[in-house]
Amino acid sequence: MSRLTEQEAGGGPGAAYLLGVAFAFGWTPCIGPTLAAIISMSWNLGDPARAGLLGLAYSLGLGIPFLILAAGWGWASRSVTFLRRHIRALNIIGGAMLIALGLLMVTGLWTALMSQLQQVVINVPLPL
């Protein structure tokens, strides 16, 4: 079994940087609103300690799964293997969900649904 060098494997610091940039571009739309809400809470409610605690909890929730995978825990590796094996079905299901969401947005049903959900969520006390 031959070992690949970093260059042959496509690795190295430059590749890691580019992967990080691509990852950041892909996740910005998902992360931005949550961080904006945390910062807004700190600013508007004058409670930076609570906002800091929420930010810490959010960061841990985002980072711990990656640390578990990096540590190479067996069950995490098996989960990734399962996802790789079923990637076609996952892509089809994800695509169908995106199409359904697009249809809901075009018809205006998404706005109505979010408005009703907001009435429910507004009455739920924050745990932190």
Gyration radius of the chain over CA positions: 20
Residue 51, Cβ density class (10 Å: 0-12 exposed, 13-18 middle, ≥19 buried)? buried
Q: Is the pLDDT assigned to residue 8 strictly greater than 70?
A: no
* Cut 0.85: pTM above it: no
Q: What is the pLDDT of residues 48-107, one digit of tens each?
A: 888 888 888 888 888 888 888 777 777 777 777 888 899 999 999 999 999 999 999 999
Chain-centre distance for alpha carbon 97: 17
The span from the CA of 46 to the CA of 120, in Å, is 25
Per-residue confidence (pLDDT) for residue 9, from 0 to 100? 55
Per-residue confidence (pLDDT) for residue 96, from 0 to 100? 97
Per-residue confidence (pLDDT) for residue 91, from 0 to 100? 94
| Residue in the structure block whose two tokens are 């930010």 | 55
| Residue in the structure block whose two tokens are 């929420």 | 54
